[in-house]
Structure 1
Amino acid sequence: MRRPVLTATAAAVVLLSAACTASAPDPSSPPASEQTTGQTAGQTAGQNAGLPGQDEIRHSPNMTVVANVPLQAPFDGPQAWGTDMAFEGHYAYVGNYEGFTVHDISDPAHPKAVSRVVCPGGQNDVSVAGDLLFVSVDDPRTDDTCAAGPGDPSDPKEWEGVRIFDVSDKTDPRYVASVRTECGSHTNTIVPGKTPDVLYLYVSSPGPIDDSPTCPPPHQNISIVEVPVRHPGDARVVATPALLEGTGSADDVSAGCHDITAYPEKGLAAGACFGDGVLMDISDPVKPRVLQVVTDQENFSIWHSATFNDAGTKVVFSDELGGGLAATCNAQVSPEKGADAVYSLTPDHRLVRQGYYKIPRPQGPKENCVAHNGSLVPVPGRDVMVQAWYMGGVSVWDFTDAAHPREIAYFERGPLPPELELGGSWSAYYYNGYIYSSDITKGLDVLRLDDPLTAPAGKVRMTGFNPQSQHPYGRG
């Protein structure tokens, strides 16, 4: 999201008309769990026409609500919003504007929060590598400690960037280091080094801010942080490549990149850089090289995120229409304005736009709804993605036919209570047979997808997963 608004990030999206195709029957009720919230059981659109009621849960017959872990103290304040997720082993790390939570998901029907770390900073998006957790902070703080308060962007002593935690003890994560980065860190992407002893973080951040000593114009670059895995306290910025130089984005009110997805096995990365989509060669991780810049001035507002298909022959870019705060999933918004845009990626590394996707279920006039974070459902031979849509819920869609993507499953809640202005699924990712959704106000949802089309994905086991660091079928 654009500075200085410190709220949720998002991207709005489109579709060619597609009906929800649900194949497997839904059990009469989801399994009981000590973490369930007691909200209304799922209804399908056919069973109950019209918009769902306040907090009412609906889902397609092939999607089952397995469990929910609600936000609890100390993450129960008015802006203790849940954000992004990462996975390592049988743990899920979920960011929050007030810190982060470590969940034990060894039994997906009974997930448990084993620790909640208070360390405020927007957005606290996370990525994990072994025993190291990297947390992005994109608002100025008075210093780099967890006790720091909101800072002043005009003060050169203020801090924002990446915090590093040792999470070898999941019940007691330990803060070990911080790295200041230009314009902060909106998101971070792990890129492996040439040896296992080193990894790199591609740090994306918006900017510039006029008269700011820490985020001055022009802001055409990303920051690359080198992390010695055995000595994370020595992490430092080793490069600030100007990826956007000459693209036109540097002249925008908000330049820089919002999110970068790396596919190291292919030597490629795709950056959603606000005004552009950027394809990069990252065969030398410290010297990324721009291969192509694509724009969509007619339909895209702020380029938000990117996802490769497993074969590396397609890239899905999403757009942040409305900044995550607007109700854009309705008839008043053109289906081509703000979108998941599906691009083919040719053998000579050229991006060619093929089609758009948007959820086919209209949302209410007060439901913030745009396409947000998602990942592949690892179905061999097909291109299937699960994606968060804020108050539009969670959508599973097939883009094997890039020109005609279609939804195959969904889960959503009805409107929030009037006193809450922002909510819904921030991130939705597939991991080892289940979909995990970080809901801004409701906590962690666990969903099961039961469909013949996606059944082969259940055979894929991952040892860990950072959605912005793609590997063939995840990792493991």
Structure 2
Amino acid sequence: MKSSRRSRHRSRVLGAIVASAALALTGVAGAPVAGAQSSVPGVDEVVSSPNMKHLANVPKQAPFNTENAIGTDIAFKDNHAIVGNYDGFVIYDIANPAKPSIVSQVLCPGSQNDVSVSGDLLFLSTDSSRSDDSCSSVSQPASDPASWEGIKVFDISDLTNPRYVSAVETDCGSHTHTLVPNKNKKSVLLYISSYSPAADLPNCQPPHDKVSIVEVPVKNPEKAALVATPVLFPDGGNAGGPNPVPDLPNRSATTGCHDLTAFPEKDLMAGACMGDGVLIDIKKPLEPKVVERVQDNENFAFWHSATFNNAGTKVIFTDELGGGGLATCNEKVGANRGADGIYDIVGKKKEPKLEFKSYFKISRHQSDTENCVAHNGSLIPVPGKDIMVQAWYQGGMSVWDFTDSANPHEIGFFERGPVSDTEQITGGSWSSYYYNGHIYSSDIQKGLDVVDLQDPRTDAAKKVEFDEFNPQTQPVYKKKHS
């Protein structure tokens, strides 16, 4: 989810969508999958294609049961799902996917609180200005030079009792972060994505065309430290500008990156950097180098996230038009905005090129009270196929096939009706990921959902298992992993 200034995260997320009322709801367009609904479901009504079976929901529980306690990203460890929340994080036991249960909850406010895991360590992104780096901090203006935001480190060797270990402050905070294991295996590197500098923010000064890299020693996590701040766009990024469609948000200028996805086996990273989509060479981990860069000033407003296919020959970039708050899944916005852009990686290994092939967007129109746009997803590991599951906020989750880059198509979906049919309340699936045979979704307001995808086209994926999975650190899928 996008926010324009560090000190405005919560108000931006929950209340910045007045323009959405102008976006009209119309009938379903395109060719939906078999079993798709022909009208908007009722409030909280669950609907799905026949091949998507809803196994379980665990509602948010106190102190995370308020509208402001927004559920965010997910990481996985030893059949546990760890779900970030604007107020901290929650650990679920998912050994029995049909009966997930809460193991522990950690109250540690500071949006977005995106998470990743490595062994007994958990990392938590804080992207709102706080009075200090503790979990008892309070909100404080980003214009105050004493304010803090950055990355926190927890020991989760005891999943029932996580222990706060250390923190590292980073410029402009940590909106998201991407874990890359260090080749010496003695530490992990965290590539911190942050953006939106301003002259009146002492800890977030323009230009901000860089990432921050934090190194965390595995055996001494209390010694986590900032080790590099490489500039990705020395000549500046996309300057941004008006959206070609009236009444839609402007195209974002590039002032940092929103999300980075690593493919460690290829020493490659894909960056969604607000106005730019990039490929980054990370052979020298502390000296990442942009080797390819594309823009889409006609249809993309905010480059949000990236996903490689398993062969590392394609990248899916998402456009989070409206920052996750607008109702963009409708006829007015159309099929090419607030969508995925599919790019093939072509050319020589040392000089890769991103070649645009097509767009993908869910065809089920949502109501004008439902925030809906392309968001976080992961591959479904089917050998020889490129299939992924993806969150669309109140558009639910979609399973779609992009094996033919020029002709992607949906093969399954799950969604709820609007949180409200009279007012816009930010809700829906923030992240939808495939892990060890099932789909897990972090719903902003409804908690954790578990879905069983029952389809012969994806059955082979059930043979792939991981003890640990961070979706923004893509592995190469094989039948068994430890």
- Indicate the SS of the match to 2:167: strand
The offset of 1:194, in angstroms, is 1.4
The 3-state SS of whatever aligns with 1:256 is coil
Q: 1:392 aligns with which of 382, 395, 399?
A: 395
Contact 2:369–2:424 (8 Å) recurs in 1: no
TM-superposed CA distance for 1:338, in Å, is: 3.1
Q: Is the 8 A contact 1:16 1:405 kept in 2?
A: no
Select which of 432, 450, 454 maps to 1:450.
Answer: 454
Give the 3-state SS of the residue equivalent to 2:322 in structure 1.
Answer: helix
**Counterpart amino acid of residue 19 in structure 1:** P
SS at match of 1:157: coil
Change (3 A) 1:256 1:16: farther
Q: What SS does the aligned partner of 2:204 have?
A: coil
The one-letter code sitting in structure 2 at the alignment partner of 1:391 is Q
Shift of 1:211: 1.8
User: Could you say which residue in structure 1 is the equivalent of 2:150?
Assistant: 161
Q: 1:324 to 1:56 in 2, by over 3 A?
A: same
Distance, in Å, in 2 between the alignment partners of 1:199 and 1:98 is: 25
Unaligned runs of 5+ residues in structure 1 are: 10-14, 22-43
Partner of 2:4: 3
1:378 Cα offset (Å):
0.3
Shift of 1:50: 1.5
Instruction: Look up the match of 1:199.
Output: 188
Shift of 1:249: 3.5
> In the TM superposition, what whole-angstrom CA distance separates every residue of 1:228-286 from its partner, at most 9, and x where no partner exists?
11101111111111102214337865611000000000110000000100101111111
Q: Which residue of 2 aligns with 1:403?
A: 406
From 372, 376, 380, the equivalent of 2:375 is: 372
Q: 2:107 aligned to 102, 113, 118, which one?
A: 118
TM-score by length of 1: 0.91
Q: Deviations 1:324-344 (Å, cap 9, x if unpaired)?
A: 110000111122223200000
SS of 1:144's equivalent in the other structure is coil
SS at structure 2 position matched to 1:177: strand
Partner of 2:17: none
Partner residue of 1:20?
A: 33
3-state SS in 2 of match to 1:115: strand
Matched, 1:469 2:473: yes
- Residue 78 (structure 1) shift: 2.5
| Number of residue-to-residue matches in the alignment | 447
Structure 1 match to 2:118:
129
Conserved? CA contact 1:82–1:95, under 8 Å: yes
Deviation string 1:155-188 (CA, Å, 9 cap, x unpaired) is 1111000010001111110000000001000001
Amino acid at match of 1:320: E
Q: Which residue of 2 aligns with 1:95?
A: 84
Q: Which residue number corresponds to residue 249 of structure 1? A: 238
What residue identity is the alignment partner of 1:106?
A
Q: Does the CA contact (< 8 Å) of 1:2 and 1:254 recur in 2?
A: no
Partner of 2:314: 314
Q: Which runs of 4+ in 1 moved over 4 A?
A: 250-254
TM-score, length basis structure 2: 0.90
Shift of 1:16: 10
Alpha-carbon offset, residue 195 of structure 1: 1.5
Structure 1: distance between partners of 2:235 and 2:275: 12
What is the one-letter code of the residue matched to 1:236? A
Q: What is the CA–CA distance in structure 2 between the aligned matches of 1:110 and 1:375, rounded to whole Å?
A: 23
- Conserved? CA contact 1:153–1:212, under 8 Å: yes
State the match for 1:25 in structure 2.
none
Runs of at least 5 residues in structure 2 that lack an aligned partner in the other structure: 15-27, 241-251
Find the aligned partners of 2:455 and 2:310 in 1 and give their Cα distance.
20
Rate the CA distance shift 1:334–1:83 in 2: closer, same or farther, 3 A: same
The correspondence of residues 31-42 of structure 1 with structure 2, limited to 5 A, is none
Q: Percent identity?
A: 56
Q: Indicate if the aligned counterparts of 1:262 and 1:470 stay in contact, CA closer than 8 A.
A: yes
**Is this contact kept in 2: 1:294–1:351, CA < 8 A?**
yes
- 2:353 maps to what in 1? 350
Query: Matches of 2:291 and 2:3 in 1, distance apart?
Result: 26
How far apart in 1 are the matches of 2:199 and 2:239? 13
Please name the residue that 2:436 is paired with: 432
RMSD: 1.7
Higher RCO (Cα < 8 Å, 6 or more apart): 1
Q: 2:271 touches 2:306 (CA, 8 Å); kept in 1? A: yes
Whether the 8 Å CA contact 1:189–1:262 is kept in 2: the answer is yes
How far residue 390 of structure 1 moved from its aligned partner, in angstroms, is 0.3
